Structure 1
């Protein structure tokens, strides 16, 4: 990437703040979950199931937000949908920090307060669902094809940066503080800290344009042309791209709809989205302090080790930016599946063998590193580019809704799974990683260095081949008859 791409990079950075808030909101619970458990779960006599649902309640909102994202982004635009997400992040941050506002008394936990806390977390989750579905689409639709992969990886890197920043914030809040203060007050500061990036995201969104492909869908060709010219620095290039966009939209209007295309592309996209979660990364991210404490670390030390998880993710994401447009999407997904399986099975084996400490930590960090180089960013790259222009918002909505459903299932079931099977539960995630390798190898196409319109032709060609095969088979049957 060079100076001539400065405008598109700035636009991508603003949209990537949605990723930062995505990471911040989903990971802030890692530092606060034990305090919330004491204050709102155990004090009311509830056990691990309610604790797991409380920790992962934001994910219910993520499902709602992802489900709504397609309709919203198609009706009011990609950028305006991100503005709504920013507002929800801010409301959730304040409400999760002080759920007692307006209706309850601090220090007097009740079932209604627990429900209210979860409702605020769900609002933040809706923001995450909207941002996670639309920010990658926004970046993908704004980016030249030869740097599109890197810019969407930049979005994922922002997710990891958000997670790392909140890990550092949580650690600084707990540093040299007694456990009693953390459980009474410190956890509130963790949630409230999200107000600052949410306000920045909201403000900056007013300075970036709507995507040219959305404008073309809404028949605002002159505005689409102006944005394309600014992005590419050439009227000729802008005219060529706009012509290609209009052609694909016309072809889709005449012949195709979501379910016509969706026979294969939807299955591939949905499966990639769900496998990213079932591999088990958020089990590590959400419960990292608890896992590290089980390895013998104190609360503050476990927070510091959690920061290490985030820092590794950021550094490895830089490597992913370099590889995504050279090594390719499919190769990275295959590599990530294989190494994840090895690391997760090793963690389970070491735990069951009674081996704790540095060796176990190495495999946990190895899993985080390979995930953040492969499945973490590449999933969002693939989802943002494989769906055809006219149905991208709707198809992305379906895929990301099921992505968050898988996230909810994986994270909410970990506490009871861990209680029932202990470290053996990591064998489950290792097996899923193995299945992910087989799926990618068999069904996922390579999309590097292709325009969004060229990628459409992969699925269009599949439809043509399928139709020709069906026609030939029918001809053979009719001849026999």
Structure 2
């Protein structure tokens, strides 16, 4: 658990920095978890073609079924990690949770790199997934509680920037190694590098403060105030936030307990919205593209090394799109961005399906297919992914924020796993029809966003909680009246 001695060390470590530099440093450390998340999910794209080789050529002799198993094992682990980390985050604090996850990142990376067979690989990928999922639910919440209302949207969105940066790094590493190294165990080196951001996260957590929101919720008012003075530019900002947090914490202590709160119907409705957003982000099919772009491009006749190199385009587009998205999320509403992104995603999935169905299998088809994938990814990473992680840090009440965020993100990982596991056999069974299926699902996602998602832009976390309670409680009363 966080201690006063640790907080004193944090104050000393950050005392020579300006407010903006302190917040940047805290966000940089926290998003090492996102960088590891991105690298671990992206590197499998380059490693799979070599892992499918027979054992005498250095591979694991994977079949389409075991490809899906290896890929999705990390994601099933992430679902468990996201769920468990929600509890530990509320119980022990965001910082301690991140420090523990960092150790799992390192152990999981070493385990996958040394795995002698399929069974050990699946087990180690599952372990690594626990860290990936735990980081995915804890990092956005930690940043949101550190950042404050003014900076929350762009700073939480940097979590997504580090995810796609990790994926880009993975694609570059895969391409460089595949062209320069002639080693049957090449994929092991790719997987081993995942330990680096995990190690940086572990070290960094000793130099960042605890969440002031969590401190206030725990009754540690003086420590929270001291931390907030380091992270806000004026005493007025500190006073305003501390007043809101203390009033909110006082009301929460008088209100239902965390266990009782989880049983209230408006909380269940809010959780269902969070779970619905998990379907929205994952059933775009984004991770089918991120994990299997080389597989898709090889169906057009492109070679293995060339198809792996082409995934660098995925990473570059994703990074550029996220940078644009960070600017846009501060100007436009969450609903507007999601609706725009989903509309273009649907169009590009239809376009890709038509390209693969109607064009002859040659280089022109490869170019048009890659173009459709890149436009899809640009709008996905600009409009949908950053907004999803931002909403996961905003929607849920402070008393159960870790638990509910963990549960919602866990469900998102289950959706991710379902897509990753099903895509290779689905592509094999339906061919081009897979992309038309995703397009149809995303029409449903667009309708969900239009009809169900509340707007959170420009509001404090305490304001959002009060409005969510009123909104969903009123809906319940209206239904009972009807």
TM-score, normalized by length of structure 2? 0.90
Quick check: 2:33–2:197 contact (8 Å CA) kept in 1?
Answer: no
Deviations 1:54-75 (A, max 9, x none): 2221111101101101111112
Question: 1:291, CA displacement in angstroms?
Answer: 1.6
Higher alpha-carbon deviation: 3-12 or 395-404? 3-12
The total of aligned residue pairs comes to 456
Deviations 1:415-443 (A, max 9, x none): 11011101110111111221111111111
Partner of 2:219: 219
1:147-296 equivalences under 5 Å are 147-178=151-182, 181=183, 184-256=184-256, 257-260=261-264, 261-296=266-301
Partner of 1:115: 119
SS of 1:450 mapped into structure 2: coil
* Separation (CA, whole Å) in 2 of partners of 1:117 and 1:464: 47
- The answer to whether residue 23 in structure 2 is matched with residue 8 in structure 1 is yes
- The answer to whether residue 143 in structure 2 is matched with residue 139 in structure 1 is yes
Question: 1:45, CA displacement in angstroms?
Answer: 7.6
SS of 2:263 mapped into structure 1: helix
Partner of 2:89: 73
1:408-427 equivalences under 5 Å are 408-427=417-436
* Separation (CA, whole Å) in 1 of partners of 2:187 and 2:478: 60
Higher alpha-carbon deviation: 245-254 or 448-457? 245-254
SS of 1:175 mapped into structure 2: helix
Quick check: 1:41–1:50 contact (8 Å CA) kept in 2?
Answer: no
* Separation (CA, whole Å) in 2 of partners of 1:176 and 1:223: 52
Question: 1:296, CA displacement in angstroms?
Answer: 2.6
SS of 2:140 mapped into structure 1: helix
- The answer to whether residue 314 in structure 2 is matched with residue 298 in structure 1 is no
Quick check: 1:96–1:188 contact (8 Å CA) kept in 2?
Answer: yes
SS of 1:56 mapped into structure 2: helix
| Root mean square deviation of aligned Cα | 2.1
* Separation (CA, whole Å) in 2 of partners of 1:31 and 1:453: 43
Quick check: 2:51–2:61 contact (8 Å CA) kept in 1?
Answer: no
Question: 1:254, CA displacement in angstroms?
Answer: 3.4
* Separation (CA, whole Å) in 2 of partners of 1:58 and 1:444: 29
Deviations 1:189-222 (A, max 9, x none): 1011112222112111110011011111211111
Unaligned runs of 5+ in 1: 101-112, 475-481
Higher alpha-carbon deviation: 322-331 or 49-58? 49-58
Partner of 2:465: 456
Partner of 2:11: none
Quick check: 2:146–2:212 contact (8 Å CA) kept in 1?
Answer: yes
Query: Which residue of 112, 129, 133 maps to 1:129?
Result: 133
Higher alpha-carbon deviation: 317-326 or 35-44? 35-44
Question: 1:39, CA displacement in angstroms?
Answer: 4.2
Deviations 1:382-415 (A, max 9, x none): 1111111111101001101101100000110001
TM-score, normalized by length of structure 1? 0.90
SS of 1:263 mapped into structure 2: helix
- The answer to whether residue 326 in structure 2 is matched with residue 321 in structure 1 is yes
Deviations 1:204-263 (A, max 9, x none): 111001101111121111111111111113334223212211222333343451232313
Partner of 2:3: none
Give the 3 Å change call, closer, same or farther, for CA 463–45 of structure 1 in structure 2.
closer
- The answer to whether residue 28 in structure 2 is matched with residue 19 in structure 1 is no
* Separation (CA, whole Å) in 2 of partners of 1:423 and 1:163: 26
Higher alpha-carbon deviation: 133-142 or 291-300? 291-300
Deviations 1:125-158 (A, max 9, x none): 0000110000000001111212211001111000
Unaligned runs of 5+ in 2: 1-17
Query: Which residue of 51, 55, 61 maps to 2:71?
Result: 55
Quick check: 1:40–1:114 contact (8 Å CA) kept in 2?
Answer: no
